[in-house]
Amino acid sequence: MAINANRLLILSRGKVIFEGESIYGRMQIFAIGDNHYIYLQRYGYSLMLKDIKSNNLRMKVTILIAVLVGFLFVFLYIAITRKLAPLKRLNRQILKFAKGDMNIKITYKSNDEIGQIAQSFDNAIYHIKTLLESKNLFMRNMMHELKTPITKGRIAVEMIEDSSSKKTLIRAFERMNELIGELAYIERLTTQSFKPKLREVNIDEVLENSLKLLLHNREKINIQTQHENIVTDIKLLSLALKNLIDNAIKYSEDFSTTIFTDGKSIKVLSKGRSLEHPLEYYLEPFTQEEKRQKGFGLGLYIVNNIIKRLDYKLKYRYKNGYNIFEIILEG
């Protein structure tokens, strides 16, 4: 009775997915859920069969496909990882080079694209290293060669009796000595290995060091400070301030300047006409106003390099007849 009840249930609720008839009888295939049943009718008797192999076969095929896909992904992962390994090594070498290590070399011998990139990178490092060594050798030789005639000229000037000519010549030799010192600082600042020596100092100490480097009369310099402490490289910041103050006095209408400090910035003000070009123009070496031939045009170039090394910012604005250069100490 239970078998007949199941048969009637399949015949009444099952979905016919195939039906055929011939002289030998009639066949129907029913589907209920994931199960399939074959119903045969012939000459007064009937037979109901359940398909028990299709699910097992489908499951085996599904598992086989999943295993093959898994192996494929593992193979692709290993292949991609091995292919990207040279790129990771190349990236590590590039990072070392960016930090100033000029002695790196990539030994990846291959004719593929990565091998070509590695070879090009090695060639670039070699040429850059050669150029830097040539530049350093030139700078050292040039400063050494200039020192001798400047020293001899300075000694010869002391023998001149004419006071006005003597002062002019002495000042010229002093400026040439200043230029050599500034070029030496430029060479140091532009090297990747250079690191500022940071420590906490009082702003008054920085200003005092800057004034010692100047040859101007201090009576022309008005200082308004809150005597605050800052963390900086005192030698570098003093040199930057010295150049700002020196430019302010040389190019001002009354040959004086005012300095304001508040712990967050340092402002150097001077009365005069505004700059004819954007600030970026004067941050390049040997650039000046066309009619202002009072220096070598290295002041703001040195200031800008120092500011970048100390992670500060240099800003300029013209307000109420005053040129205002500001060093932002905080980001």
Helix axes 234-251, 203-213, angle to 10 degrees: 60
Percent of all residues in the chain with a pLDDT value above 90, rounded to a whole number = 12
pLDDT, tens only, 115-136: 777 778 788 877 887 877 777 7
Q: In this structure, are 312 and 263 located in the same domain?
A: yes
Residue 62: both structure tokens together: 């599904």
Mean pLDDT value of segment 294-307: 74
pLDDT, tens only, 167-199: 777 777 777 777 777 777 777 776 666 778 889
310, 250 Cβ separation under 8 angstroms = no
**CATH number of the CATH domain containing 68:** 1.10.287.130
pLDDT of residue 60: 67
What long-range pairs does 168-176 form, CB within 8 A, spacing at least 24?
174/215, 175/295, 175/296, 176/146, 176/150
Mean pLDDT value of segment 128-153: 73
Give yes or no for residue 81 having a pLDDT over 60.
yes
Q: Is the pTM of this model over 0.75?
A: no
Mean pLDDT value of segment 7-26: 73
Give yes or no for residue 316 having a pLDDT over 50.
yes
What is the domain extent for residue 279?
199-328
Helix axes 299-309, 163-189, angle to 10 degrees: 30
- Residue scoring higher pLDDT (79 or 317): 317
Q: In this structure, are 239 and 115 located in the same domain?
A: no
- Give the total number of structural domains in the chain: 3
Q: In this structure, are 82 and 182 located in the same domain?
A: yes
